[in-house]
Structure 1
Amino acid sequence: MTSTSFYPIGTAGQPWGAAEKAQWRARQRVQRSYSDEMVTIIERLRSAFDVEQYGELDYPAGRFPLFAVRSRDWREHLPVVLVTGGVHGYETSGVHGALQFVERRAADYAGRVNVLVAPCVSPWGYERIQRWNSDALDPNRCFYADSPAQESAALMRLVAPLRDRVLMHIDLHETTDSDESEFRPALAARDGKPFEPGLIPDGFYLVDDSEAPQPAFQQAMIEAVAKVTHIAPADAHGEIIGSRVVAPGVIEYALGPLGLCAGITGARYKTTTEVYPDSPRATPQQCNDAQVAAVCAGIEYALAHR
């Protein structure tokens, strides 16, 4: 019996092998340009920020340079704020929200913090509007030693020298309708597990670190974002995406043990944002603005409570 009842690749109950992964990869199509939409913007930032290439992805489909943007007035005695976007390449406002923060707000913090932004961690996924990388791996489950994901390994190398100086790390994400229609079914098929339908929350929410929660920090960001777009309510079980809601718009994950990007530093303040771009109540610009509002509110809170 094939798994086509919920995904067109693989055999029910059997994890994918190399053949199934190759079949999945062959289905992916370039839908937008990392070079045109990302690299050109990053290059323009060189006039006001330091831009560095911190790695390069090497896939059969081609090579993708990885860029980070730093404060030009970097000062060794200042704390570091780390902003990451596009760990899941399909999550558009994570990428464009990170760039919008650099273009419009990062200069506001000159002399107060060192800002380091990696706006598009997964360019292969960005071009194909895909959650995984070319190897059918989720980079946001691969942030651990000897990572099999090129994207995750490169970012960890970039951050390693600064790991203990990071005051705040905010990782910008989205939860989309395609999570339920494509990405979760693909995950179940890849791992040989049954697909269990879930609910997509309508609105913005945050993921705190269950091992070192900072509820007041999370609430400061929720209050700022609520002025831009709506906050996701809990479902009938008091949950968002299967996790208990611990405060309005906030759930918790064990960031480090799960290999999540937001857990790669020793930052006291860390979070993962989740915007809902498919809501009829939110525009793409609102989604970008919500990401920026969260970053700025988080920085202000972290600086005030060092």
Structure 2
Amino acid sequence: MSERTSAPPGLARVGVSGWRYPGWRGDFYPTGLAQRRELEYIGQQMTSVEINGSFYSLQRPDSYRRWRAEVPPELVFAVKGSRYITHMLRLRNFEQALANFFASGVLALGSQLGPILWQLPARQHFEAEIVEAFLEALPRTTGQALDLARRHDERLKGRAWLEIEADVPLRYALEPRSAGFGDEHSVALLRRHGISLAVADTAGTWPRFDELTADFVYVRLHGAHDLYASGYSDEELRAWASDVRGWLDGAPDGVPRDVYVYFDNDARGHAPHDARALVELLPRPFGE
């Protein structure tokens, strides 16, 4: 067993994947709350939000700037990487698409930009050379991301964001859905690059990976029993809270880690209620 470190515990941030769901209105969102104020309401209840619209299409700088303005400055956004890169290009010939992604406005989040998540399709098996080439191409700081963004193509002409507030490190998480990513070679590769192997609860639909491969843990909760649809019981939430507190304090290797948790069980409206309940079971960032 590793000796406990004297380093301070990590920070826990909890939220939902996306926030614009009609079924949440009049349920989680108070009746009569204007749609334009939904993210503001999320920011009052949670400590992070995962932007998932960026997975489906390139967003615009004005959107990122508006989202940032609607929440407290302490709230951190995770950003879901483009499925064009992960699902269509399959991590091949992605260089131009990656430049366009970073030019689309992601950097406008400034100090509130948290981890960037790359979700892979189940058909994407672990191929060391393909995965390593992609990981090596990821910019490690916002300064490097800005340099990459400047290489955007004509599709971003007139709508690119090419500014940063400071040159700071970037964090990445990978959510694969093929068992091969649990292989020792995959885990070693992710550790070498400091990429978090996401802990994903998918009701048994896809493999769950629990290896810690970075200085933070990225958790996605898609539903324990019914994918995207079932809620988490009080007992299940307490169990997740216990896991999170362990990672914050340095389990299992004595290294405290920040933890980001996002609920994606939104089909029946459970996600925001579960997220709010987990927030109450964990220490707030910076003692908020």
Given the two structures, how large is their TM-score scaled by the length of structure 2? 0.31
Question: Could you tell me the TM-score, scaled by structure 1's length?
Answer: 0.30
Which structure has more strand as a fraction of its residues? 1
Greater RCO, 1 or 2 (C-alpha within 8 Å, sep 6+): 2
